[in-house]
Structure 1
């Protein structure tokens, strides 16, 4: 397929590279053009403008927040003005439910198609083509871009013909990730202050009842205080929890733990942790207990 890719951060660069490996004709755009150079060396075309990335069958976007996505779609020369009729915008960004609804309606009004396909996985999974994808949108639209989804992920879970539902699922998942990080941090702080070896404790947990990647990955980051460079910045984690709470407010779903997590992220950010990995909230409990931390 002929596809544009917009947003070459840590996740986007791996996804675009896998599209190339799968044989798709890829045109890439990023606000910082230098980030496209490695992909151009692999066979991608570099677009000087957003419009130049919109000449194909589809455009995939992987952007950091609502503000960036709004500018790319609705700004002058953006997707809405540039995508051909019938072409598909595949949004893999973690954005608000409200913006996803707005994008779906705007693309439909312009005769274009829209699918919300946020992803689960860290940059190493993106580079390996091992992301898990959650898709929302009309069945025909998702089917049309399935070859692209197969190139960047190992599984696609179609959850609804309403695009926004995929965003709710993504936000709920990131809430669960953050909940695990916080609970791990508190447990590790407790045993650490009691004199138990933290690495030995983690090895016990992850070789028995918590033998899962999430506990191994984030537990290791917390035990090693390995928060730089960030694979997923704390500022983005804070953003995602706020978006989850906004969705919960709209649906009248109390989420008291999400409110706590919002405050934990605020604490980390207030101490200059914006660019640390979001796993750094797991070090706050140790710091609160007088044992140091992020």
Structure 2
């Protein structure tokens, strides 16, 4: 299948590689051209603009950091909407707001194009190893047409209906769950450390008694070690996601006081210069609030 791929950061690069491995033809675009060129040995064609990456593509993926980045590549004369042909499908794997997802669905419909929201759960190493869990929502025919591609980048797929933004709601809810557990882990590690218990000791208890998910076991390990670089998912992006969670909650009149607390903790982290560290650096903030040195 002829595919365009826009956004070759920590997550997108691994996803694009797996699509190439599955035998698909890719035209790739990234703001930093060197990241696009790194896929040329695997057979990717480097595009100069999102519009060029979209030209001739049957399906185009985007995997970008936030709403602003997606808006920049989607709209305008050099945007992907201008480049996609009628009947082509945009698969948005970025974690974006519900409002932007709905705006994209409308814009593509007006252009005679398809739109599938397909955000993913997993870190960069999972993207590289084809271990992402993919969410998908959109018109049934569009989702089924994209299914082989979505299965090529992950270990599993959840289809969430025909309204694309449903996938974004589930993704934001999942990220809120992860952030909430990280906050609880961070506070637990701070308490046990201040009581004189080594982080590795508490980590072993957590792994043997509580850990049922590799996601939470991984974050517990990061908090215990204090190793938050390189960031698999930056703390400033965690702040973005908590803001999106609260925006979605406000739109449906759902009170989420813990999400408000987490947003404030992420704001504190960015203010303290931790924005580019892994979002598990919540552990550093909890330790500092407890009067402990940085882990």
TM-score normalised by length of structure 1: 0.98
- Return 5+ residue gaps in structure 2 as ranges: none
CA positional deviation for 1:132: 0.2
Aligned to 1:236: 237
Task: Give RMSD over aligned pairs.
Answer: 1.0
Aligned to 1:42: 42
Aligned to 1:277: 278
Deviation per CA, 1:73-109, whole angstroms, max 9, x where unpaired? 1122211111000000000000000000000011001
Aligned to 1:53: 53
Contact between 2:178 and 2:216, CA under 8 Å: does it hold in 1?
Answer: no
Q: Please say if 1:99 is aligned against 2:100.
A: yes
Distance (whole Å) between structure 2 residues aligned to residue 131 and residue 38 of structure 1: 22
Contact between 2:50 and 2:74, CA under 8 Å: does it hold in 1?
Answer: no
Q: Please say if 1:291 is aligned against 2:295.
A: no
Aligned residues: 294
The 3-state SS of whatever aligns with 2:240 is: helix
CA positional deviation for 1:222: 0.7
Aligned to 2:20: 20
Q: Please say if 1:251 is aligned against 2:231.
A: no
CA positional deviation for 1:49: 1.8
Contact between 1:185 and 1:286, CA under 8 Å: does it hold in 2?
Answer: yes
Contact between 1:183 and 1:282, CA under 8 Å: does it hold in 2?
Answer: no
The 3-state SS of whatever aligns with 1:28 is: strand
CA positional deviation for 1:170: 0.3
Distance (whole Å) between structure 1 residues aligned to residue 190 and residue 178 of structure 2: 18
Distance (whole Å) between structure 2 residues aligned to residue 61 and residue 103 of structure 1: 12
Deviation per CA, 1:176-230, whole angstroms, max 9, x where unpaired? 1100110000001111111112111111111223232123211111111111111
Distance (whole Å) between structure 2 residues aligned to residue 200 and residue 91 of structure 1: 41
Distance (whole Å) between structure 1 residues aligned to residue 211 and residue 50 of structure 2: 45
Aligned to 1:7: 7
Contact between 1:206 and 1:215, CA under 8 Å: does it hold in 2?
Answer: no
The 3-state SS of whatever aligns with 1:166 is: helix
Between 200-209 and 250-259, the greater mean CA deviation after superposition: 200-209
Between 84-93 and 211-220, the greater mean CA deviation after superposition: 211-220
TM-score normalised by length of structure 2: 0.98
Contact between 2:51 and 2:81, CA under 8 Å: does it hold in 1?
Answer: no
Deviation per CA, 1:216-273, whole angstroms, max 9, x where unpaired? 2111111111111111111100000000000000000000000000000011111111
Aligned to 2:227: 226
Aligned to 1:166: 167
Aligned to 1:119: 120
Distance (whole Å) between structure 1 residues aligned to residue 149 and residue 213 of structure 2: 28
Distance (whole Å) between structure 2 residues aligned to residue 174 and residue 36 of structure 1: 28
Distance (whole Å) between structure 2 residues aligned to residue 210 and residue 71 of structure 1: 40
Aligned to 2:201: 200
Distance (whole Å) between structure 2 residues aligned to residue 226 and residue 256 of structure 1: 29
The 3-state SS of whatever aligns with 1:59 is: strand
The 3-state SS of whatever aligns with 2:160 is: strand
Deviation per CA, 1:98-122, whole angstroms, max 9, x where unpaired? 0000000110011000000000000
